[in-house]
Amino acid sequence: METLLNDFSVGLFVMQAVILLILILLMRKFAWKPILNALDERETGIEDALKSAENAKREMENLQASNQKLLQEARTEREAMLKEAREIKTKMIEDAKTEAKEEAEKLMTQAQASIETEKKAAIADLKSQVASLSIDIAEKVVRQELSNKDKQEQLVASLLGEATLN
Amino acid sequence: MIAKKSITFIAVLVLALVSFKGFAGDEGHHDKGNTIDTPDEIKEYIGHHLKDAHDFHLFSDNASGKHYGFPLPVIVWTSKGLKTFMSSAFHHDDAGHTIVDKGDVKLTKIHSKIYELDAGATSVNFDETHHATNAHKVLDFSITKSVFGMLLAGLLMLLGFTALARGYKKGKKIPTGFGRVLEPLVIYVRDDIARPNIGEKKYRKFMGFLLTVFFFIWILNLLGLTPLGFNVTGQIAVTACLAIFTVIIYLFSGSKDFWAHTLWMPGVPVILRPILAVIELIGFVLIKPFSLLVRLFANMTAGHFVVMSLIALMITLKEAFGPVGSTGMSLVLALFISVIEILVAFLQAFIFTMLSSLFIGMAVEEHDHH
């Protein structure tokens, strides 16, 4: 302890205090302040950059989400439109079918009606022809009967044969 | 450009320090006019090295008795006022034989201390314990080896860190060159020493002191490992000064809460409070700075002592192991301890700064629970 105290140099202590004080002041002004400020600046810069990157990422995500939404909407709309179109198509076909059927039926009935009329006319014509033919035959038969009994029968037979051919 | 220059300067300096290593290895053999080869002489030599010196002594030539180095200015405050001269006036005498006559005062140097002879005395008389009887110490503001070392460390710091600072000013966000080494160290002190101990809000105010002290101690510790033989942080005056700076800073920046807790501790019986106040005050004013100054001083002194003792092994073990054996052994051991000392150099700077910031943190802390 005595040697320690003996070694303690007041002059060195004073010199050290002065040097240290001056050094602290100089270093603070010319080194530490600019260095620490620059470090702070850089760190805030980095932080800001990270934050803005994060924001950009979030915005991108939002954008993507809205894009997705838009796409989804478009898809549903398309689907709806397609469905509608299909419905319209089936309805049109259905309508066309019913219409055609009705038309056909109408035509059929008309045709049937005209056939019926034709048939009736034909039958009436046939009837009148048969009547006139019968009258002819009856006339001829009556005429033959008047000449010869055999010949009358012969004539009837031949006439009948003719009549069947006709 | 300027940064580059200063880096070159540092590089040259480092090279210069390394190149002297060859001489330093033989320090034990050739340092003085006569060979140092007995344990007592070695002990004295080491003791001499651990002390401050008035000239910058590199090595001596044994054969011619020549000393290599350069003198440093002596500045003393005597009874007749300020006296200045170069230390070469003492002619390497350290026993009070050479008297420097400055007209009205006679000065001499005994064991690295400057003495003023009493009026009328022409030579120093010693008593049986080798204390001067007719001379007294003077206030010594000399640029001693330690002061020179501090100036050198300060210069290195100014050159290195202002270069780093200027780099930022030029608009470069990232340092170049040697700044790349310095910047992480600054960040380390800020983020791992100051911030966690002092707190985010208040650390900035103390950065100037903490950074300066950290690099100052570290550089001086490292200079102490070079063969130049600086032992600045092993001077008790230097470590005391550093510790007192810390005390002044934390006592003057103590918050209201700190003083309230120190002087009138809440939550304990009233009778105990004055006792606690005394204990706390002694702790903050005496014990904490004392622990700071002794830790640094003792560690650095012990380190120097061990390294030099191991180098001296090549002399003390010469008889037992022969010259090659003892030299090899001392080389290996000294190398081993030197590597540890490099770690200790950083560690002590770190511990000093760490504890300083811890004490400052205690003082500026604000308790928000009452």
Gap from A50 CA to chain B (nearest CA, Å): 16
- A67-76, A142-151, B23-32, B309-318: which is most confident: A67-76
Q: Which residues of A touch B49 (CB under 8 A)?
A: none
Measured between CB atoms, which of A4, A8, A39 is closest to B187?
A39
Q: Which residues of A touch B164 (CB under 8 A)?
A: 31, 35
State the average pLDDT over residues B312-328: 84
3-state SS assignment for residue B147: helix
Mean pLDDT is lowest, of A90-94, A148-152, B195-199, for A148-152
**CA B214/CA B223 separation, integer angstroms:** 14
Task: Tell me the pLDDT band of A165, cut-offs 50, 70 and 90.
Answer: low
Whether B7 shows a pLDDT value over 70: the answer reads no
B113, B152, B238, best to mutate vs chain A, most A CBs in 10 Å: B238
Whether B29 shows a pLDDT value over 70: the answer reads no
For chain B, say whether A18 makes contact (Cβ under 8 Å): no
pLDDT at res. B27: 37
For chain B, say whether A20 makes contact (Cβ under 8 Å): yes
Beta bridge partners of B91: none
Whether B25 shows a pLDDT value over 60: the answer reads no
Q: Using one digit for the tens of pLDDT, what is the confidence trace for B246-304?
A: 999 999 988 888 888 888 878 778 888 888 888 888 988 899 999 999 999 999 999 99
**CA B182/CA B188 separation, integer angstroms:** 10
The candidate with the shortest Cα–Cα distance to B316, out of B305, B304, B330, B303, is B330
Summary mean pLDDT of chain B: 82
Task: Tell me the pLDDT band of B13, cut-offs 50, 70 and 90.
Answer: low
Whether B351 shows a pLDDT value over 90: the answer reads yes
Q: CA gyration radius for chain B?
A: 24
Q: How far is CA B112 from CA A7, A80, B9, B49, in A?
A: 9, 105, 31, 10
**CA B237/CA A9 separation, integer angstroms:** 6
Gap from A55 CA to chain B (nearest CA, Å): 24
Q: B189 or A154: which carries more pLDDT confidence? A: B189
Gap from B190 CA to chain A (nearest CA, Å): 9
Q: B111 or B61: which carries more pLDDT confidence? A: B111
Measured between CB atoms, which of A14, A36, A37 is closest to B141?
A14
State the average pLDDT over residues A117-122: 92
- Nearest chain A residue to B137 by CA distance is A9
Mean pLDDT is lowest, of B91-100, B176-185, B300-309, B337-346, for B91-100
Q: Which residues of B touch A34 (CB under 8 A)?
A: 165-166, 168-169
**CA B7/CA B14 separation, integer angstroms:** 10
Whether B43 shows a pLDDT value over 50: the answer reads yes
Q: Which residues of B touch A26 (CB under 8 A)?
A: 154, 158
Gap from B30 CA to chain A (nearest CA, Å): 26
The fraction of chain B above a pLDDT of 90, given in percent, is: 29
Whether B199 shows a pLDDT value over 80: the answer reads yes
Whether A106 shows a pLDDT value over 90: the answer reads yes
